[in-house]
Structure 1
């Protein structure tokens, strides 16, 4: 933020912050930096993506241990890809890739940001 002698201030408001709980509940959301037609600020479009999609949190009840074959089924779930959120990870990588591309259009990327962009492409 920059303060001037006449008590006016200028600041860059081209980002927003979220915490882990918000990110968990709205995992499909993403931000896009838009063109700045008149203002000296870049507007940000937040696409909500709705409430958290994907599998619901795992809840276990002891009665399932009495069901024949359940232990084997549970073991296959934990060891398989369907419990690791492959689709979520793919969408997250795509969002990161799009974020770095948009940021590069407005600013030069630092070395750390260029490395993060490279990792998002992998």
Structure 2
């Protein structure tokens, strides 16, 4: 079974909300600049087509958090949110000299959350 849209993954793993999420619906593709965000995928070239494989490796990685493609959580986001897949380079914001808190209190991004979230006011 081909793993387009993670059809093979969801045979065992359920991620409620994924198919209707911004990532699950995204037709964004790599512009050919910088590092290929999907080197393991020869056939799929969109965020929705790569689905789980946007951020996760397969089972031979050892399980748990090791299933993330990169050890640093933000590197999993940077693969696409660097202006080469997602239109806006949000990773550049992290390199600025001044900053403000970027999360509410979860300290974790969930790929199934809505594209627009309420930002906490400081």
TM-score (normalizing by structure 1): 0.24
> Is the radius of gyration larger for structure 1 or structure 2?
1
**Higher fraction of strand:** 1
TM-score (normalizing by structure 2): 0.24
**Per chain length, whose mean CA-contact separation is higher, i.e. which structure has more relative contact order (CA < 8 Å, sep 6+)?**
2
**Higher fraction of helix:** 1
